[in-house]
């Protein structure tokens, strides 16, 4: 007499009782070139991948077991050298491999950040340019509910208006990313540190407004909370699009 059905039943009940559910986050590359998405888990179960290649117009679904928090981004202009070391011109994670292996993006990088709640509770998500910008992106909920359970878009090209002191250039001399003022200038008024370490002491700057004007729904600096955080309840799935 087999016990397999009993084991499956018990595992299923344990899954349901724990309140866990799976959220599907689908990564779509709408850029006219290949990108290499990276993932970083802050808390919760590790994802099935920490980095992969994604051709233009391709998609890849990733299952996320709630509760979970972490971030996604896209690396660009990547290749392996003659020794097999893998590097990218923007948003490299420094692992030397296609998989990021729990290493985060090296700024500047456009980020999507998630907190996925258990029991189909309230998820939080945002787009962040606090670490700079390398390409446009968006996140769109599928299902779910709530007054701001809507798409968050960063369709503007910050690279096209990036001031010279923040510019990152590629090997051909073109602008491939835009640093944050904190990264480029390392001054407390841009990093919201030291005497500028509270929201009332660290207002928007001329630099952060460059990012905000291009992408009004994205975080442009550390205390940019207004209109930048989105929420969904009811177990939504999500689509991240690079170059929406």
Residue 12 confidence (pLDDT): 40
pTM for the structure as a whole: 0.90
Query: How confident is the model at residue 108, as a pLDDT?
Result: 98
At 228 the pLDDT is 86
Residue 125: name the closest of 199, 27, 213, 233 by CA.
233
pLDDT of residue 225: 74
Sites in the chain below the pLDDT cut of 50:
1-19
Q: What is the pLDDT of residue 14?
A: 41
User: What single-letter DSSP state applies at residue 40?
Assistant: E
Write down the pLDDT at residue 69.
Answer: 98
Closest CA to 77 of 169, 161, 162: 169
Q: What is the pLDDT of residues 4-13, one digit of tens each?
A: 444 333 434 4
Domains of the chain, first to last: 20-242 (2.60.110.10)
């Amino acid at each position: 007499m087999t016990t397999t059905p009993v084991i499956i039943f018990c595992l299923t009940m344990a899954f349901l009782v724990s309140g866990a559910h799976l959220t599907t986050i689908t990564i779509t590359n709408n850029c006219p070139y290949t990108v290499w998405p990276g993932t970083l888990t802050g808390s919760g179960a590790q994802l099935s991948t920490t980095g992969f290649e994604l051709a233009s117009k391709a998609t890849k679904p990733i299952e996320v077991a709630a509760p979970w928090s972490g971030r996604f981004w896209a690396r660009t202009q990547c290749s392996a050298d003659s020794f097999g070391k893998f590097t990218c011109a923007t948003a490299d994670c420094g692992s030397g491999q296609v998989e990021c292996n729990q290493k985060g993006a090296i700024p500047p990088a456009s980020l999507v950040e998630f907190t996925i709640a258990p029991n189909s509770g309230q998820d939080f998500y945002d787009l962040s340019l606090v670490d700079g910008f390398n390409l446009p992106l968006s996140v769109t909920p599928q299902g779910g509910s709530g007054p701001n359970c809507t798409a968050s878009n960063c369709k503007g090209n910050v690279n096209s208006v990036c001031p010279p002191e923040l510019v990152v250039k590629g090997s051909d001399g073109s602008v491939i990313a835009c640093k944050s003022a904190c990264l480029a200038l390392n001054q407390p008024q841009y990093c919201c540190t030291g005497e500028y370490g509270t929201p009332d002491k660290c207002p928007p700057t001329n630099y952060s407004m460059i990012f905000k004007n291009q992408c009004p729904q994205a975080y442009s600096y550390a205390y940019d909370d207004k209109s930048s955080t989105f929420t969904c309840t009811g177990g939504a799935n999500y689509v991240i699009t690079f170059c929406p």
